Structure 1
């Protein structure tokens, strides 16, 4: 028997980084610190309360959670005018992005991005039968706004996806570049409509001081959306909570394509428990920033290229045979990521002990 698999899916493998049982896991940009005990206790209490009502469907529009996410985002970014009507949430920012492509992509439409960037973007396009167009970044991994605008006007994409800080390079978009792209995409979409410009700020809390968020541009641009996640800064990768801020009409379009009751009562409770302790969790972020900057400095001292990072990872190189370096580290119990531009590797920032293990292993493998 042959299954009627879509022809474009034949032979493809599921997305995913290696999940290996080694002592030092530095490959998927996780927060290395467990949630503090005060957060764990709050989560347990919240789940216990939610469990009493699990015979009922959850709040379909989860307005309380959306209002609290809006409050956190306004405080974190300095943005104004955010409320529940301007925030959406789903099971990780992956699902948020899929909602965007379901609502604004589809057959005959194109999504666009600038490579190297997050490897899931073309999969969102594929899964929604949306065309995919990618444009190379500059040699320093920046996006040239003039070249980007020219290509957007030529291609007329329905959606442009821009990660800032970018994965896997860690580079953040200057706010002026984002502003120019937002101004230029007001009428560059299908049939003269706007192009939906999505700025993916999954790692925004790790950005260096003085790097503003695109959330501050939302009042001026109703076709701009800014995606975030609780996976990284909140040490909540296992909770699967992502969210997006945008104009109410854009959020309402995502409500049309979401599955019924897609955000469980338990997920909503867990998210609200963490938001109530955002200040505690942000102390971990400061420690990770410090460790990241120390990692960049150490790599450069030993002759490696290390890209300035506003995220919780560092892209470094260059290697004639990066696979052998990756394998050498793995043989010594350190798992990092072989991704992004050729000749580069990416290391997530771990605890001081984990980073010491990484440095020792890299020194052994390369002799640096």
Structure 2
């Protein structure tokens, strides 16, 4: 008897990716920005989308020239970036998938260092790319010599390095990027995923600063987090123009709609305002880390808008206890750890109060 539908064997029995979407008072599980755009920004987005709607009978700008220029201008705060060095897609998820489509594939290997973003192995699976993970140290840093050895053994065509790392929040030291770019050489690409880059602590550099030195380096960003645009679905990268040209081979035609382009351009016009809450969220994160440590929890150093804390003998019981009190966080990362997104001051107070009650009731 033939199984139906005729799914690829390696996909059988696999559940789709996704964090719980539950209607609770305090939602701190998917690292969203708790502060929405201002009325002025909303009005600009709305009027821009109206203008785009007048031409929806036509295909959008396939090369999204205006958007690439605006993103390049934004990124040039950290390093010189030109429009030819920028690529964008529907969320950083699609950017990553396109990178694996272009540079991974059958007979090729992608490498990361666990714990790492849980979607990476899915990108590899979906593109028939072999997936290999090294291990991070106990403090979630990467041992440079072990990384060199792994690259020499596996000869990856793609190395995926989230910085700040999801789920731990730890940022990469610049020498990690340097070491891996040199170890991989031009037979592969090193992708530094800076989805949470705007939240990094003072003195923590961006990998954008190393783009001019390594043409095999790719730095990805998103408008989902610092720009409060999770519903916008706009991710992007900066890299050597040759890498952007290679991705154009695998992208779907007209993959960025006219509406998406218009909304993203409008949001970028309000960048100072949208990014204005980043400092506030950084401060709230640091207060949360200090409070958790003061209560005796172990907490990973975080340069992101979330923190990983533990450790628990039964983390699911703690997660459920918080949920029962109307606080949703994420059960992810290494065994025994939980991750909490940084919300408003009131939301973090509710989280702290709920966590203290749960811990008192634990056996």
TM range (shorter): over 0.9
1:103 aligns with 2:96: no
1:324 aligns with 2:317: yes
Aligned residue number for residue 133 of structure 1: 132
Which contiguous aligned blocks of 4+ residues in structure 1 show a shift greater than 4 angstroms? none
Give how far 1:174 is off. 0.7
Aligned residue number for residue 17 of structure 1: 19
Aligned residue number for residue 234 of structure 1: 227
Aligned residue number for residue 353 of structure 2: 360
1:307 aligns with 2:307: no
1:295 aligns with 2:288: yes
Q: What residue ranges of structure 2 are gaps of 5+ in the alignment?
A: none
Give how far 1:2 is off. 2.0
Superposed CA offset, 1:115-162 (max 9, x none): 001000000000001110011111110011111011101100110000
- Within 5 Å, give how 1:150-299 maps onto structure 2: 150-187=149-186, 194-299=187-292
TM-score after normalising by structure 2: 0.98
Q: 1:219 aligns to what SS in structure 2?
A: coil
Superposed CA offset, 1:73-96 (max 9, x none): 111x2x02x111100000000000
Aligned residue number for residue 190 of structure 1: none
Give how far 1:315 is off. 0.2
Aligned residues: 359
1:61 aligns with 2:56: no
Work out whether residues 92 and 222 of structure 2, in 8 Å CA contact, stay in contact via their aligned partners in 1: yes
Superposed CA offset, 1:200-246 (max 9, x none): 00000000001110011111111110000000000000000000000
**RMSD value over aligned CA atoms?**
1.0
Give how far 1:41 is off. 1.0
Per mean C-alpha deviation after superposition, the further-off stretch among 32-41 and 178-187 is 178-187
Q: 1:279 aligns to what SS in structure 2?
A: helix
Q: 1:315 aligns to what SS in structure 2?
A: strand
Give how far 1:176 is off. 1.8
Q: 2:212 aligns to what SS in structure 1?
A: helix
Aligned residue number for residue 327 of structure 2: 334
Superposed CA offset, 1:242-274 (max 9, x none): 000000000101111000000000000010001
Cα distance in 1 for residues equivalent to 2:4 and 2:252: 29
Cα distance in 2 for residues equivalent to 1:366 and 1:69: 45
TM-score after normalising by structure 1: 0.96
